[in-house]
Amino acid sequence: MTTIPHTKTELLVLLAELELHPRRKWGQNFLTDPNMLDAIVRTAAPATGEVILEIGAGTGVLTERLLAAGARVTAVEIDRRLAGHLRAAFGGHPGLRLIEGDACDLDYDALLGAEPYRVVANLPYACSSVLVATFARLRTPPRDMLLLLQREMADRLAASPGTKDFGSLTVSVRMTYDVTRLRAVPPGVFTPPPEVDSALVRLTARTPPLSVAERDRVGAVARVAFGQRRKKLSNALSAHFDAVAVREAMLRAGIPADVRPEQVDVLGFVRLAACLPAE
């Protein structure tokens, strides 16, 4: 019977059996450090019966721990060989729903509905920004997310206004979530080790959330603003909106006329988007 690999040696044996060479484009850097895995589950503290979404289930080492804690896990895996391994290893476990497919193409509102759920995942680095931004725009966003991310991505999510890492992704995600960096994670906990450092990050949903239309509107304004971040905010926006309307909107939103985009905080962008004319 297929089993979950609990050591680096067991992982290498499994990969050989599956004739699988880890693919960078799918972010196949497998967690092999049991202490790190235990720390993730301990931090997540899943309650019995709660729904957890895991993106990139891989060999099932995190899935196994979440199921053992009593969670109902919806696990997404793009690699057909790993998906087959997971089916064999868990043998129809009643707490597991396995989705074979690309996590970036799924309709999570349809998949998970309006029931509260959480995300606990070692996100594939190549698509992490797309996935996090997608979750932040959902009609029913996850109530919290505990994510292993590339450190650069974690820096962008947690960035403060006025810093180089503060940008449109920061604004788009922080409309919906408060972001806390929990710990740095070295490459050595993965096999193969990535070429960058990682970080464990918690995102906690703000209540009440903005409507989907409001989030889309603010996100669009932020993308226009940071598309020309070296310019003053008024000039960047005037390439897309009427210049007089931009000046009036900034005045009504309480934003000084001479600031650059990174100097405006998330709530400032929310006010500004509400004051700008509809396209």
Mean pLDDT of the chain: 95
What's the whole-model pTM score?
A: 0.94
Split at pLDDT 50, 70, 90, the class of 47 is very high
Q: Which residues of 179-202 are buried (b: 16+ CB within 10 A; e: fewer)?
A: beeeeebeeebbbeebeeebbbbb
Q: Which residue has the tokens 């064999």?
A: 88
Split at pLDDT 50, 70, 90, the class of 279 is low
Kindly calculate the radius of gyration of the chain based on its CA atoms and give it in whole angstroms: 21
Report the pLDDT averaged over residues 38-55. 97
Domain spanning 212-275 has what CATH number?
1.10.8.100
Q: Return d(Cα 82, Cα 56) in angstroms, integer.
A: 10
Delimiting residues of CATH 1.10.8.100 domain(s) in the chain: 212-275
Report the pLDDT averaged over residues 38-61. 96
Q: Return d(Cα 279, Cα 265) in angstroms, integer.
A: 23
The fold adopted by the segment(s) 8-205 is Rossmann fold (3.40.50)
- For the segment 57-116, what is each residue's pLDDT rounded down to a tens digit? 999 999 999 999 999 999 999 999 999 999 999 998 999 999 999 999 999 999 999 899
The answer to whether residue 32 scores a pLDDT higher than 60 is yes
Delimiting residues of CATH 3.40.50.150 domain(s) in the chain: 8-205
